[in-house]
Structure 1
Amino acid sequence: MENVEWLQKGLVVLLSIAFFWKLIRYMWSFLKTEKDPVRVLVTGAAGQIGYAIVPMIARGVMLGLDQPVILHLLDIEPAAEALNGVKMELIDAAFPLLKGVVATTDVVEACKDVNIAIMVGGFPRKEGMERKDVMSKNVSIYKAQAAALEQHAAADCKVLVVANPANTNALVLKEFAPSIPEKNITCLTRLDHNRALGQILERLNAHVSDVKNVIIWGNHSSTQYPDVNHATVTTSSGGKLVRELVADDNWLNTDFIATVQQRGAAIIKARKLSSALSAASAACDHIRDWVLGTPKGTWVSMGVYSDGSYGIQPGLIYSFPVTCEKGQWSIVQGLKIDEFSRKKMDATANELIEEKSLAYSCLN
Structure 2
Amino acid sequence: MCESLVDLNSQVPDLLNACVEGQPALSTMEDHQWYKTEFVPSVVGRGLDVSKKWGRSSAPSTAIAIADAIRALLVPTAPGDCFSTAVCSDGNPYGVQEGLIFSFPCRSTGNGSYEICDGFVLDDWLASRITASQEELAKEKSSIMHLL
TM-score with structure 2 setting the length: 0.90
Q: Deviations over 1:279-337 (max 9, x none)?
A: 22221111111012222211111000002421100110000010111321110112121
Q: Once the two structures are aligned, what percentage of the paired residues are identical?
A: 34
> Which residue of 299, 302, 317 maps to 2:101?
317
**Aligned residue in 2 for 1:260:** 43
Equivalent position amino acid for 1:306 in 2: S
Write the distance in 2 (CA, Å) between the matches of 1:280 and 1:242: 27
Task: Name the residue aligned to 2:60.
Answer: 277
Does the 8 Å contact 1:213/1:300 carry over to 2?
Answer: yes
Kindly indicate whether the alpha-carbon contact (under 8 Å) linking 1:306 and 1:318 is maintained by their aligned counterparts in 2. Answer: yes
Structure 2 unaligned residues grouped into runs of 5+ = none
Structure 1 residue corresponding to 2:16, chosen from 229, 235, 240: 229
**8 Å contact kept, 1:304–1:317:** yes
- Shift of residue 217, structure 1, vs aligned partner: 1.3
Gaps of 5+ in 1: 1-210
> Runs of 4+ in structure 1 displaced over 2 angstroms?
none
In 2, Cα distance between equivalents of 1:340 and 1:269: 30
Residue of structure 1 aligned with 2:74, choices 291, 294, 305: 291
Task: Give the alignment of 1:338-357 within 5 angstroms.
Answer: 338-357=123-142
Structure number, greater radius of gyration = 1
Give the distance between the partners of 1:329 and 1:306, measured in 2 at CA.
Answer: 13
Secondary structure of 1:335's counterpart equals coil
- 1:51-200 matches, cutoff 5 A: none
For the residue of structure 2 that corresponds to 1:229, the secondary structure is coil
Whole-Å separation in 1 of the counterparts to 2:119 and 2:44? 25
**How far apart, in 1, do the equivalents of 2:91 and 2:72 lie?**
23
8 Å CA contact 1:213–1:228 kept in 2: the answer is no
Higher relative contact order (CA 8 A, sep 6+): 2
> Which amino acid in 2 is paired with 1:312?
V
Cα distance in 2 between the residues matched to 1:353 and 1:214: 25
* Structure 1 residue identity aligned to 2:143: L
Q: What RMSD over aligned residues (CA atoms) do the two structures have, in Å?
A: 1.6
What amino acid maps onto 1:218 in structure 2?
Answer: N
TM-score of the two chains, using structure 1 as the length reference: 0.38
Query: Residue type matched to 1:242 in 2?
Result: A
Contact in 2 for aligned 1:293/1:327 (Cα 8 Å): no
Aligned residues: 145
